[in-house]
Amino acid sequence: MIRFEHVSLHYGNQTILNDLNFEIKEGQFAVLIGPSGCGKTTTLKMINRLIQPDSGHIYLNGEDVAKTDRYQLRRRIGYVIQQVGLFPNMTVAQNICVVPRLLGTPKEGYDDLVRRMLAMVDLPYESYAHKYPSELSGGQQQRIGILRALAASPPVVLMDEPFSALDPMTRRSLQLEIKQLQQKLNKTIVFVTHDMDEALDLADLIVFLDRGNIVQAAAPEEMLEHPATQQVRDFLGSHISGPSPADLTAADVMRTGVVVVNQNRGIHECVSRMQHHNVDTLLVVDEARRYQGTVSITDIRLTGHVVKTIGPLVRNNTPTVGVDDNAKDCFDLLASSGFPYLVVLAPDKTVAGIITKTSMAAAMAEHLWG
């Protein structure tokens, strides 16, 4: 329906849009999103030829808009902007009929058109048709702005941050209304916003721009599942859910910074390290920091006087798991083994961390409540 092919624009030596390529299908609700100044408005205005690209083409139903008469485009493309821009000296009815009048639609149909239009947004004709914009609330004015864009029945409607000046309640209700209208009337809508909530609610296709480049063009679900960059992820923010509980691994539920001791160290050093860290066992590693086992204060008390290094006191019975092992399996092992902790090993057999009941509970709480 709308296709951008290698569209670029420069102002002086500044690149405003850099080789945009994307397609919006008929009946789709496409949302252009991105940080302020990324080129959303510029992109939108190219569709109805308010701005022309330096290079590339924009096709509307296969027809190059650069070769389409502006008057023809107006008939086919409605346009709604943030500052509604209703004509203050015209009534609601007259405002709605601006485009039909420009297009030379016979006057006899206007009354009926205005009735149908107002009915779509639940504004009774009798109370509203003859009011002036100044007599309407911001939300009502924006509704009339939308109706004005729809009045000539264009298949495509461009909307540039149409709701951003409205309070959240009004905004919400207009979002629902525009989505319903779009589905009922089967319009193709290109909608600019910098609000990801709005984009996710409304869009079939989200085109994410940054500094004139398309960072990602995807359906909302796809974007949520596979955000292309950290910037997209930041925009999605709280909408991105963490891994599901079934996907958690040992690494997600372990605690790190575990105290280890080399197997060649003496009894004395081992004891002082235990005292310093206030623990009654230490993990023992070799020169390459690979896990060898554990040593406990109990064993040191019993037989520490007959050995020089801790090597002979190392026990190998504490259960070990790998960093990628399933967290639920670790939980079951911890519960059934009777040991106070599990040792988590990296693939090279070095110590990655330990899983205790506390570290497990903390990870679960984090997952449940954030």
Ligand X SMILES: Nc1ncnc2c1ncn2[C@@H]1O[C@H](COP(=O)(O)OP(=O)(O)O)[C@@H](O)[C@H]1O
Given Mg ion, ligand X, none, residue 292, with its beta carbon under 5 to 8 Å by kind, binds none
Which part of the chain contacts ligand X (CB under 6 A), choosing from 39-47, 63-71, 197-205, 314-322?
39-47
Joined together, the tokens standing for residue 280 give 């009654």
Task: Name the β-bridge partners of 5.
Answer: 57
- Our CB check for ligand X shows the closer of 50 and 260 to be 50
Residues 246-275 as x/- pattern, contact with ligand X by CB under 6 A: ------------------------------
From start to end of 110-212, where are the E strands? 156-160, 188-192, 205-210
Q: Does position 53 bind ligand X by CB under 6 A?
A: no
- Our CB check for ligand X shows the closer of 115 and 194 to be 194
Edge-to-edge strand list for the sheet holding 55-60: 14-24, 2-11, 55-60, 63-64
By CB under 6 A, name the one of 4, 28, 39, 235 that touches ligand X: 39
Residues 100-159 that bind Mg ion (CB under 5 A): none
Given ligand X, Mg ion, none, residue 36, with its beta carbon under 5 to 8 Å by kind, binds ligand X
Q: Does position 37 bind ligand X by CB under 6 A?
A: yes
The neighbour count for residue 258, using CB atoms within 10 Å, is 17
* Count of positions on this chain that bind Mg ion (CB under 5 A): 1
Would you list the DSSP string of 226-251? S-SSHHHHHHHGGGS----GGG-BHH
CB of 11 to ligand X, least distance (A): 4
- Our CB check for ligand X shows the closer of 40 and 171 to be 40
Residues 140-179 as x/- pattern, contact with ligand X by CB under 6 A: ----------------------------------------
Given ligand X, Mg ion, none, residue 42, with its beta carbon under 5 to 8 Å by kind, binds ligand X
By CB under 6 A, name the one of 8, 15, 41, 296 that touches ligand X: 41
Distance between CA atoms of 193 and 36, rounded to whole angstroms?
Answer: 10
Given Mg ion, ligand X, none, residue 13, with its beta carbon under 5 to 8 Å by kind, binds none
Which part of the chain contacts ligand X (CB under 6 A), choosing from 32-40, 275-283, 309-317, 327-335?
32-40
By CB under 5 A, name the one of 41, 61, 153, 350 that touches Mg ion: 41
- Our CB check for ligand X shows the closer of 16 and 344 to be 16
Q: Does position 38 bind ligand X by CB under 6 A?
A: yes
Q: How far is CA 224 from the centre of its chain?
A: 6
Write phi, then psi, for 254 (nearest 5 degrees).
-90, 165
Q: Does position 13 bind ligand X by CB under 6 A?
A: no
Where does 186-319 have alpha helices with state H? 196-202, 220-225, 230-236, 250-253, 267-277, 297-303
Q: Does position 11 bind ligand X by CB under 6 A?
A: yes
By CB under 6 A, name the one of 7, 40, 190, 270 that touches ligand X: 40
The neighbour count for residue 194, using CB atoms within 10 Å, is 16
Please classify residue 86 by burial: count the beta carbons closer than 10 Å to its beta carbon, then call 0-12 exposed, 13-18 middle and 19+ buried. Answer: buried
Given ligand X, Mg ion, none, residue 38, with its beta carbon under 5 to 8 Å by kind, binds ligand X
Please classify residue 349 by burial: count the beta carbons closer than 10 Å to its beta carbon, then call 0-12 exposed, 13-18 middle and 19+ buried. Answer: middle
Task: Name the β-bridge partners of 216.
Answer: 208
Q: Does position 18 bind Mg ion by CB under 5 A?
A: no
Determine the length of the chain: 370
Instruction: List the end-to-end C-alpha distance of the chain, in Å, as a whole number.
Output: 42
Which part of the chain contacts Mg ion (CB under 5 A), choosing from 41-49, 134-142, 245-253, 287-295?
41-49
Q: Does position 82 bind Mg ion by CB under 5 A?
A: no
Q: What value, to the nearest 5°, has the Cα angle with vertex 319 and ends 317 and 325?
A: 160
Distance between CA atoms of 315 and 181, rounded to whole angstroms?
Answer: 71
Task: Name the β-bridge partners of 345.
Answer: 322, 351
CB of 43 to Mg ion, least distance (A): 9
Which part of the chain contacts Mg ion (CB under 5 A), choosing from 35-43, 131-139, 204-212, 343-351?
35-43
Interface with Mg ion (CB under 5 A): 41
